[in-house]
Amino acid sequence: QGIRKQQIEVGKELDETNSKLIKTKQELDEKSNTQNTNVSTPKEKKDAEIDKVNENVNEKSNAGIIEAASVVVGSLKSKLNTTQKELEGIQRLLEEEREAHKKTRQELIKIKSATEENKKS
């Protein structure tokens, strides 16, 4: 159950990170689409240049955030896959133990029957 719980938690983290990644990409697209190019006075031109530089810095920062989020998503996917493989292995071992227990129980029943027959004889 502990591994299953971890698997669920990692899946939730992966979903959250993916949604943050999508949201950040959308914000980046919105910022790119809202550039103002209608400038008339020199002060407005200077302000526009400053805004453009700030946007470039923000875009680079956003790109870094997106890249980092992608790395986190990749890491979480890797952890999820590892946990799933561990769970499959444990399930396989459990099934083997169940089969061994079943065989042992059948042997015990045979031995008890043989012992009871020997006592009767």
Tens of pLDDT, residues 23-59 = 888 887 777 766 544 445 777 777 777 787 777 777 7
Q: What is the DSSP letter of 41?
A: S
Residues written for the chain: 121
Please tell me the predicted confidence (pLDDT) of residue 101. 97
Q: Give the pLDDT confidence of 78-119 residue by residue, as tens digits.
A: 999 999 999 999 999 999 999 999 999 999 999 999 998 888
Q: Determine if residue 69 is left, alpha or beta; phi over 0 gives left, psi from -120 to 50 gives alpha, anything else beta.
A: alpha
Domain ranges of the chain: 1-36+52-76
- pLDDT of res. 37: 46
Specify the 3-state DSSP secondary structure of 40.
Answer: coil
**H helix runs in the chain, sequence order:** 2-33, 42-120
